[in-house]
Each structure stands twice: as C-alpha cells, then as structure tokens.
Amino acid sequence: MTRLVIAGAGGHGREILTWVRSSPRFLGEHGIQHIAFINDVEPAKPLGAPLTGTIRDFIPNAEDLFICAIGDPVDRASVALSLEARGARFVSFIHDDALIGPTVTHLRGLVVFPRVTVSTDVRIGAHVHINVASSVSHDVTIGDFATLSPGCTVTGGATIEEYTFLGAGATVIPGRRVGPGATVGAQAAVVTDIAAGLVVVGVPARPLRETAARTPCAQSDRGAGL
C-alpha cells in the first residue's frame, strides 16, 4: 500500500493535491492509495487530506513516496534535502494532461502541472516545478530547484540555472541564460543573460536589485509550508 506524502501544506501544496487527484494515470502507475500532508505550522485552510505530522520530525516509511510542495526554490531545497537525508523517496509528478517529449530527461522530484508542454531534448534537474500552461522549448536546460510560475515561456536553447524563480508569464528568448538564484518578475521578457542573484523586471527585463545569496539549510528558517 503506497502513500503519497506531500511536504508543505500551503497554497502550493493544496494545488498539487488537486492535480494529483485529477491524474489517474499517475496514481495507477505508482499504486498510490492514500495521500497525506506534512507541515511544520498549522495550515491556514482545510487541506482536503490528512495532516500526518511535521516535516521537521517525520520519519519516512519504506512504502512512502514524496512530493515537495514548497514554492520558494531555496526553501524547497532545504525541505527536500532534509527529508532525503532521512530516506525519503521523491517521485516525479507529471500531470496526465501535460505534454512531455520522448527525449526529455529529468531527475527526481519534478512537478509538472496541467497544460504544460516540454519539447525535445530538454534536460531538467532535481525538484524543478513547472506550473500551469508553461512552455519549454527544444534544447533547454533547467537546473535543480528552479521554479517556473504559470504561463512561462522558455524558448529554444535557453538555460535556467539552479534556484531560479520565473514569475507568472515570464519569457526567456532563445539562447539566453538566467543565472543561479535569479528572480524574473511576472510578464518580464529576458532578452540578455541575467547574472546570478539578480531580480529583474519589465520588457525588456532590467535589474531591479541584487539579492543576498541564499543556500539551503537543514531545515527552512521561514516556516516550512508557508
């Protein structure tokens, strides 16, 4: 009997629960019969599935599969790496309605929402989240723990480095590179390479500020699940 454990019970986690339940092919392939949440703070809204413990103290069972439902890339890394150190097995969830090319490669923990398209010869790292109606074109590389918000477009040969966050509707033109830990604002258009840690906004995207480097810690200091 396989249980799916969703780490993080904020809005992102509740969304993932909705899409998992609407993906019978995914549920059947992994033999998932039960779904539960773990979270370090009391959820603000009803979850629709049991809360079975805290992230900080949870001990995985051999039959459990995990999804890390933390939207922030660095906080996601902190939670996922902490659970993996305790033996958690992270599954990749690709919604039944997503279109994934046969030459796409990815590592563990990928989360792909409905209406996403990922084209040819795309390489995706661990624990990447690609939200509703985003499009990833040929020969793109996406690094570990990156987040693509709803409606993003990443065009041919672009590179999205680890811990990068693309806001809703952001576009990256062909061949451009978005550096590690950068944030691209909603609806921004990336037409030049973006350095590590920059926050960029606008069309074309221009620097708003540079952020201090954040790295994963054993447990997020911002309250897992928020």
pLDDT of residue 34: 97
Measured on CA atoms in the order 123, 21, 23, 136, is the torsion positive or negative? negative
The one-character DSSP state at 115 is: T
The helix (H) or strand (E) run that includes residue 118 is strand 117-118
The helix (H) or strand (E) run that includes residue 15 is helix 11-21
pLDDT of residue 114: 98
98 in the same domain as 81:
no
Rounded to two decimals, the pTM is 0.92
34 classed as catalytic: no
pLDDT of residue 226: 34
Report the alpha-carbon distance of residue 103 to residue 45 in Å, rounded: 40
58 in the same domain as 159:
no
Q: What angle do CA 200, 15, 10 make, to 5 degrees?
A: 75
The annotation status of 101 as a binding-site residue, yes or no, is no
102 in the same domain as 176:
yes
Q: What is the CATH number of the domain that holds 128?
A: 2.160.10.10
Last residue of a domain, one of 63, 91, 119: 91
66 touches 89 (CB < 8 A) = yes
In a domain, 100, yes or no: yes
103 in the same domain as 58:
no
Q: What strands, in cross-sheet order, belong to the sheet with 141-142?
A: 105-106, 123-124, 141-142, 159-160, 177-178
Report the alpha-carbon distance of residue 57 to residue 44 in Å, rounded: 20
Peptide bond into 204 cis (omega under 30): yes
What would you report as the CA-atom Rg of the chain, rounded to the nearest whole angstrom? 17
pLDDT of residue 173: 99
In a domain, 194, yes or no: yes
Report the alpha-carbon distance of residue 178 to residue 220 in Å, rounded: 24
206-210 and 105-106 strand pairing: unpaired
For the stretch 129-179, pLDDT in tens is 999 999 999 999 999 999 999 999 999 999 999 999 999 999 999 999 999
In a domain, 59, yes or no: yes
pLDDT of residue 217: 64
69 touches 47 (CB < 8 A) = no
Tell me how many domains the chain contains.
Answer: 2
Q: What is the CATH number of the domain that holds 11?
A: 3.40.50.20
The helix (H) or strand (E) run that includes residue 102 is none
The SS3 call for residue 146 is coil
User: For residue 183, what are its two tokens?
Assistant: 């944030």
Q: How does pLDDT run along the chain (226 residues), one tens digit per residue?
A: 799 999 999 999 999 999 999 999 999 999 999 999 999 998 888 899 999 999 999 999 999 999 999 999 999 999 999 999 999 999 999 999 999 999 999 999 999 999 999 999 999 999 999 999 999 999 999 999 999 999 999 999 999 999 999 999 999 999 999 999 999 999 999 999 999 999 999 999 999 876 666 667 644 433 344 3
The SS3 call for residue 84 is helix
Report the alpha-carbon distance of residue 182 to residue 184 in Å, rounded: 7
Range of the domain at 133: 94-206
In a domain, 171, yes or no: yes
